[in-house]
A and B are shown apart, each in its own frame.
Chain A
Amino acid sequence: MAGAKSASVLCLDVGFSMSNSAPGEEPHFELAKKVIQKFVQRQVFAETKDELALVLFGTDSTKNSLDQDGQYQNITVHRHLMIPDFELLEEIENQVHPENQQADWLDALVVCMDLLQTETEGKKYDRLNISLLTDLNTRASSEQIDVIIENLKQAGITLQFFLPFPVEDDEESGRDAGRGSPGHPGMGKGLSDEQKSSVDIVKHIMLNLDEENGLDEVYSFRNAIEQLCMFKRIERKPMAWPCQLTIGSCLPIRIIGYKAVTEERLKKSWTTIDAQSNKKDDVKRETVYCLDDDNETEVQKDDTIQGFRYGSDIVPFSKVDQEQMKYKHDGKCFAVLGFTKQNTIRRHHFMGTQVIKVFSAKDDEHAGVALSALIRALDELDMVAIVRYAYDRRSNPQVGAAFPCIKKDHECLIYVQLPFMEDLRHFSFPSLENNKKFTPSDAQLSAVDSLIDSMMLSEENDNGEQEDMFKVHHIPNPAFQRHFQCLHHRAVSPGTPLPPMEAWLKAALECPEVIAERCQGPLEEVKRKFPLTEVEKKKKLKTSAQIFGKDSGEPDAKMAKGDEEEDYNLADIAEGSVTSVGSVAPTKDFRTLIKKKCLPFGEVCQQLICRLEQLLSNKNTSYFMKSITCILAFREQSVELGDANLYNGYLRSLKKSIPNRGLEVFWDLLVQDAVTLISKDEVKGSSVSKTEADQFLVTEEKIKEAAAPPADTGDVDDLLDMM
């Protein structure tokens, strides 16, 4: 099992035709490069043992082991087979460029095959794969093609093509490719003769390798990028748990259990490092034990013993004693206690954090029959087995239910833990049904009824089957997606603030658009029929942070509105953690720094401006909001400290740069909020008069008319280009 890994070669065409592009589109090379980047990223974060090699063809130089007698020219093995890392990502980013030669893509394929065969020799791989990314714009010599196919088959190498255009099955679409997607980007002016003949060869190869689905492995660059956007979901190898299901003492059935559903965690956790050296070895953490006296007298760890509370008593109970007296059992078991009706097991009583599927032992036909008899008997009687389950000697036994599960291709028991008496909390709640105050009227009920109608997520499709529009178990865990997105961003563009959440991820978590639209009417009705009024809260207990916030002259509601990050955090301030204006909560840092007066005002302002510029360079509304709060804070503190020059100076230069940077949208926001220069009225030292300050925003109208509409939201990568 240890050798379950794959080896793949990415074979990228960097020849000159790859820099071509249809008007208004990215060059094929850039798209292909993105595909490779996303692919490698996924591998790096998945931390599989899968190995990767990178072969470039169409390079100016030649570097491969088959290079002889003018054969296999302009093909470079850029990286040999190994586990991909960030170095490779950086190399792809910085060293892989379009070059000026063309090379035969079939030759490149042969080089890849040779590489795979020599470098995997003597090791175990469960999959060998070559991915070819090319525009097929070279005439390939097809003489060798059958030999190549034969070799691929023999070596068990699978092949994937990534092309700038989609390839359709001849029989389905006839000769005019692109039936399914008219105007598919990348088609450009149609295919060249070289491309047409190459496409034929590709088809020939792919259909020879797999008659049925060969062409499924031919992708267009665009589709590939979309699919690769999602970080690979975390895969875990299921661990088999062999055991015996017992009924009484005389009826054992050999079984094997697998964890089927459990909340997956990220494999890696954060390590604490020294902020200066970035080394974790520089940070050491130590725990000391203190008596509860006034001096907090320290005692040695060796002088402490373990104890437990028993109500108000404290009972010394050493680890050794505890180990000796603790509950012991015979270890691994899956023993039936009895059988009961399925409806006595309530779904909301399911305990634990996992579901185990139980099959019969491998290669044991008789156990299979016995288990099948049990599963079917339970199913027919609508019953479940209540079992005692213990994973092994060290873990505590549980009580749980084993439900029968019969699927088209397999049968199994599904085990879920049930509560112990100690786990149940018998809360009683006032009845909702018997309370006249809360009983909804018929009109109210029917409003809710139509809301449910409009928001049903499963609908009958044309075939009369129920179709689910929103399958939660198909959504990747957004926490992981976001985590990797941020890690990746930080790795490739250090020093820039974290990117906003990706649009597709946000959309995946929202109500489907159809539903959102359809429910508008019924929702309005519900709104009308059910008056909901927020109860004015009696004074809440203030947390120290809130109190602190008030005392420190926290700006009024407008500033703090909806932005939790602006909350003061007592701990942060008290511990003096803020030393510079950070990117997460720049306004907060800014205020804190000014309050603490440990840095000169000018420097703190400079830091804030720096962050502001960073934020603005990433043209995105959510960043705009943050930028505005920054500017507001800048203004407020300047007024408070009576120093208007820095602020006014910055705002003027910002205004000037608006048209060049396409930040009109942002400027509009400033105008709306009437954020203008600081006038003499506010700060004596200011050189700006009140009218001048008012005028400052008005003149902007003209600029706006002249300016082009704001450009497309910038790519994350050029986040700092403006600086």
Chain B
Amino acid sequence: MAEWNKFYHNEDDEEEQEEGEQSGGDSKITGRDSLVFLVDASKEMFINGEDGQLSKFDMTMQVVRNVYTSKIISSPKDLMALVFYGTEQSKDPSKSFKHVYVYHDLDSPGAKRVQDVDALRGLKGAQLAAETMGSGKTSFSDALWCCANLYSDIKLRLSHKRLMIFTCRDEPHGGDSGKDRQARTKAGDLKETGIVIDLMHLLKPFDVAAFFRDIISPPEDESELGLQLEPCEKLEDLNKRVRAKKLEKRANARIHLCLGEGVNVAVGLYSTVKAARKPSPISLYRETNEPVHTKTRTFHTETGSLLLPSEIKKSQVYGKKQIVMERDEVDAIKKFEDPAMFLIGFKPMERLKRHHHIRPAEFLYPEEDEVKGSACLFSALLTKCHERNVFALCRCISRRNIPPRFVALVPQKEELDEGKVQISASGFHVIYLPYADDIRTLDPPECPTASQSQVDKMKEIVSKLRFKYRSDDFENPALQQQYRNLEALALDMMAPEDTEDLIMPKVEQMNDRLGPLVQEFKDLVYPADYNPEGKPAAKRKPADAGGGAEKKPKVEVPEDELRERAQNGTLGKLTVPVLKEACKKFGVHTTGNKKQELIDALVAQLGQ
């Protein structure tokens, strides 16, 4: 029975989610992303910075760890490797390279790997590194070759391959032009197989032109190389830069933005914000802890024979009548037209109401390789919308068989931070707009307004508690806790690491900062005998000592009345507990707790 309930629920939920969420990306790009960290292990990397700054090696390890743990959360199936070059010791699967140390080969990161990287951090980490790997000569071409082998050993389909080089030496071979040339050739080979090579250089001054310019992949947008070539010396910057690169962007959908008859711009829809959820649990066999998979079958209750999809129809009951449709008809109802965005017109930005929000925004960017000329028209539209401070209103169907929604395309100009790292890309934000049904009618209560002196006092309070908001300031405490727990279990730790709840108000600091202001404000607005925490009236009668059992007296309605109500359709007047009780009485199985379901079940029973 429990399964049964679940089945109905699931079906319901799934359908809803399907509509709401832009699930898993593009059918064209399937496969896993991969990322290799190629880290310089020369002596220079271990030099501690001035005033207690981390060594470059330490900094890199922190970044690697961050990437590992965040990948575990965001895309646990992606593959990662950690390789050191310029080591004394050598370790690689083929045992053919010197001065290259494959610390982790390409695989999805797990708890063990996080621990391994942790072990390389700090002073102890430096020691450990010195013991296991040491610092030695550098052969960059060997290092690259070794990495290439890592890729070729993978039998899975890789959608995106990236190699990140972390170093503080701009001339790894100390000017040996022969070795430089070898390395360049090797890098060319790698790039040819679709591997993107990035440089994370960690020390000023760094002459990219000396060696690395020919190693790394050219930037996608062919803009001047200068953009990337500022070395980052701070952990925070490095984190940011790595973060920007580590995720391969994947379109939720590629569709046409139709400005009018025959003017179709190819665009991709991307999720730049998406609620990270707890992973769904998997079932394991108790004896062996191996994963089990589930199969669902639909069969006939009486004959027990499996039902083919053609032997199933769908129905809904309205006003006591069962309405039946074929399965494909149910889908056909949802289909309005083929996926596309149709321009309706433009509106001034102030017409976009803040409270017209129903789901997170998406991001729109042209797809030049689908329709040539898209980027130019898109760019012109963007420039003009931005200049005139208008947004474009479109009817949008992002996938097949989903009904249309209206969206506002809000222009976004490119924004860079001081380190020339892109904060916002240029494109349109896609804001989903509500229909009439989505807006609820509220009856705003009549409220007194505050006097200017009261407002002014509050302004002082507000100013005291002012801070600079950044969208990545807050971690999700529930999610973090879940992963710390898993981490603890996976790593056999005694207790999970403490998580700091960043969205807890720092009450004491706030009180300190406000000082007497709170009391002054209260004196202005609350009368002396007013208790703002108090409840106006006892909300509920205090529960008797007896507790639960008595709280809900059994509610029963005589059978006759039920029949009568079922007949003239007034069962709805009864409360859910009463209906449930009635269902029990007649031995009616209900599939859920929704009122209508209970009523339907009863009507069906009593109507017989």
Which one of B70-78, B88-96, B138-146, B168-176 is at the A interface? B70-78
Q: Is the CB of B311 within 8 A of A252?
A: no
Q: Is the CB of A475 within 8 A of B436?
A: yes
Which one of A152-160, A185-193, A377-385 is at the B interface? A377-385
In the complex, B152 has a CB within 8 A of chain A: no
In the complex, B126 has a CB within 8 A of chain A: no
23 chain-A/chain-B pairs, Cβ below 8 angstroms: A84-B319, A292-B292, A317-B485, A326-B481, A340-B467, A345-B469, A354-B357, A366-B532, A377-B461, A398-B503, A416-B357, A421-B476, A422-B479, A424-B273, A429-B425, A430-B223, A452-B384, A456-B346, A457-B347, A511-B344, A523-B263, A578-B310, A583-B329
- Residues of chain B with a CB closer than 8 A to A449's CB: 384, 388
In the complex, B24 has a CB within 8 A of chain A: no
Interface residues of B in 305-344 (CB under 8 A from A): 307-326, 328-330, 332-334, 336, 338, 342-344
Known: A291-B290, A478-B404. A264 touches B437 (CB 8 A): yes
Binary interface encoding of chain B residues 232-266 relative to chain A, with 1 for a CB under 8 A from any of its CBs, else 0: 00000000100111010100000000011111110
Rank and list the top 9 A-B pairs by shortest CB-CB distance, nearest first: A430-B221, A85-B319, A479-B403, A410-B444, A86-B321, A429-B425, A327-B481, A373-B450, A440-B380
Of the candidates A49, A447, A473, A476, which one forms a contact with B573 in the assembled complex, judged by CB atoms under 8 Å apart? A49
Known: A286-B296, A534-B370. A369 touches B448 (CB 8 A): yes
CB-nearest residue of chain A relative to B456?
Answer: A377
Known: A260-B439, A261-B357, A411-B447. A281 touches B301 (CB 8 A): yes
Which one of A20-28, A194-202, A357-365, A645-653 is at the B interface? A357-365
CB-nearest residue of chain A relative to B71?
Answer: A311
Q: Is the CB of A335 within 8 A of B505?
A: yes
Binary interface encoding of chain A residues 477-521 relative to chain B, with 1 for a CB under 8 A from any of its CBs, else 0: 111101100110011001000100100000001111001000100
Known: A353-B20, A434-B223, A564-B338. A472 touches B406 (CB 8 A): yes
With A and B bound together, what is the CA distance between A357 and B444 in angstroms? 9
Binary interface encoding of chain B residues 5-18 relative to chain A, with 1 for a CB under 8 A from any of its CBs, else 0: 00110011001100
Binary interface encoding of chain B residues 558-583 relative to chain A, with 1 for a CB under 8 A from any of its CBs, else 0: 00000000001110110100000000
CB distance from A283 to the nearest CB of B (A): 6
- Residues of chain A with a CB closer than 8 A to B575's CB: 2
With A and B bound together, what is the CA distance between A482 and B345 in angstroms? 25
Which one of A54-62, A232-240, A654-662, A696-704 is at the B interface? A232-240
CB-nearest residue of chain B relative to A270?
Answer: B314
Of the candidates B274, B314, B511, which one forms a contact with A273 in the assembled complex, judged by CB atoms under 8 Å apart? B314
Known: A290-B294, A345-B469. A575 touches B511 (CB 8 A): no
In the complex, B217 has a CB within 8 A of chain A: no
In the complex, B427 has a CB within 8 A of chain A: yes
* Number of residues on chain A facing chain B (CB within 8 A): 229
5 more contacts with CB within 8 A, not counting A325-B481, A373-B455, are A357-B442, A399-B474, A409-B444, A478-B403, A482-B333
Of the candidates A427, A490, A512, which one forms a contact with B247 in the assembled complex, judged by CB atoms under 8 Å apart? A427
- Residues of chain A with a CB closer than 8 A to B336's CB: 478, 482, 501, 509
Q: Is the CB of B573 within 8 A of A310?
A: no
Chain B binding surface SS class = mixed
In the complex, B178 has a CB within 8 A of chain A: no
- Residue of B221, B296, B385, B591 ringed by the most chain A CB atoms within 10 A: B221
CB distance from A605 to the nearest CB of B (A): 20
CB distance from B273 to the nearest CB of A (A): 5
Binary interface encoding of chain B residues 113-132 relative to chain A, with 1 for a CB under 8 A from any of its CBs, else 0: 11000000000000000000
Q: Is the CB of A271 within 8 A of B444?
A: no
With A and B bound together, what is the CA distance between A313 and B72 in angstroms? 10
Q: Is the CB of B307 within 8 A of A283?
A: yes
Which one of B35-43, B51-59, B182-190, B519-527 is at the A interface? B519-527
With A and B bound together, what is the CA distance between A305 and B275 in angstroms? 27
Known: A273-B313, A363-B536. A310 touches B486 (CB 8 A): yes
In the complex, B22 has a CB within 8 A of chain A: no
Q: Is the CB of B385 within 8 A of A248?
A: no
Of the candidates A261, A352, A398, A433, which one forms a contact with B355 in the assembled complex, judged by CB atoms under 8 Å apart? A261
- Residues of chain A with a CB closer than 8 A to B524's CB: 373
- Residue of A44, A371, A376 ringed by the most chain B CB atoms within 10 A: A376
With A and B bound together, what is the CA distance between A575 and B309 in angstroms? 7
- Residues of chain B with a CB closer than 8 A to A139's CB: none
Which one of A31-39, A126-134, A203-211, A524-532 is at the B interface? A524-532
Q: Is the CB of B475 within 8 A of A272?
A: no
Q: Is the CB of A299 within 8 A of B292?
A: yes
In the complex, B28 has a CB within 8 A of chain A: yes
Q: Is the CB of A314 within 8 A of B436?
A: no
Q: Is the CB of A274 within 8 A of B311?
A: yes
Q: Is the CB of A304 within 8 A of B286?
A: yes
Q: Is the CB of A468 within 8 A of B283?
A: no
In the complex, B63 has a CB within 8 A of chain A: no
With A and B bound together, what is the CA distance between A305 and B294 in angstroms? 13
- Residues of chain A with a CB closer than 8 A to B16's CB: 265
CB distance from A91 to the nearest CB of B (A): 12
Known: A316-B284, A325-B485. A373 touches B463 (CB 8 A): no
Q: Is the CB of B533 within 8 A of A260?
A: no
With A and B bound together, what is the CA distance between A132 and B322 in angstroms? 31
Binary interface encoding of chain B residues 438-478 relative to chain A, with 1 for a CB under 8 A from any of its CBs, else 0: 11111111111110001111110111011111111111111
With A and B bound together, what is the CA distance between A428 and B270 in angstroms? 11
CB distance from A251 to the nearest CB of B (A): 5
With A and B bound together, what is the CA distance between A176 and B447 in angstroms? 48
With A and B bound together, what is the CA distance between A674 and B275 in angstroms? 55
- Residues of chain A with a CB closer than 8 A to B244's CB: 426-428
CB-nearest residue of chain A relative to B474?
Answer: A399
In the complex, B25 has a CB within 8 A of chain A: no
Q: Is the CB of A423 within 8 A of B275?
A: yes
Q: Is the CB of A452 within 8 A of B385?
A: yes
CB-nearest residue of chain A relative to B316?
Answer: A268
CB distance from B479 to the nearest CB of A (A): 6
Known: A308-B282, A535-B371. A432 touches B378 (CB 8 A): yes
Q: Is the CB of A498 within 8 A of B329?
A: yes
Which one of B102-110, B159-167, B200-208, B543-551 is at the A interface? B102-110
With A and B bound together, what is the CA distance between A480 and B247 in angstroms? 38
Of the candidates B15, B439, B470, B475, which one forms a contact with A473 in the assembled complex, judged by CB atoms under 8 Å apart? B439
Q: Is the CB of B439 within 8 A of A261?
A: yes
- Residues of chain A with a CB closer than 8 A to B72's CB: 310-311
- Residues of chain B with a CB closer than 8 A to A531's CB: 372-373
Q: Is the CB of B469 within 8 A of A350?
A: no
- Residues of chain B with a CB closer than 8 A to A474's CB: 436
In the complex, B431 has a CB within 8 A of chain A: yes
- Residues of chain B with a CB closer than 8 A to A548's CB: none
CB distance from A434 to the nearest CB of B (A): 4
In the complex, B225 has a CB within 8 A of chain A: no
In the complex, B482 has a CB within 8 A of chain A: yes
Of the candidates A233, A370, A479, A584, which one forms a contact with B328 in the assembled complex, judged by CB atoms under 8 Å apart? A584
Q: Is the CB of B390 within 8 A of A452?
A: yes
Interface residues of B in 475-519 (CB under 8 A from A): 475-483, 485-487, 489-490, 496, 499, 501, 503-508, 510-511, 514, 518-519
CB distance from B112 to the nearest CB of A (A): 7
With A and B bound together, what is the CA distance between A125 and B563 in angstroms? 23
- Residues of chain A with a CB closer than 8 A to B480's CB: 327
Binary interface encoding of chain A residues 395-421 relative to chain B, with 1 for a CB under 8 A from any of its CBs, else 0: 011110001010101111010101111
Q: Is the CB of A45 within 8 A of B395?
A: no
Q: Is the CB of A445 within 8 A of B380?
A: yes
In the complex, A181 has a CB within 8 A of chain B: no
Q: Is the CB of B596 within 8 A of A268?
A: yes
Q: Is the CB of B356 within 8 A of A285?
A: no
- Residues of chain B with a CB closer than 8 A to A419's CB: 273, 275, 360, 471
- Residues of chain B with a CB closer than 8 A to A372's CB: 447-450, 454-455
Known: A83-B569, A523-B259. A307 touches B283 (CB 8 A): yes
Known: A312-B108, A434-B221. A411 touches B318 (CB 8 A): no
- Residue of A349, A473, A511 ringed by the most chain B CB atoms within 10 A: A473
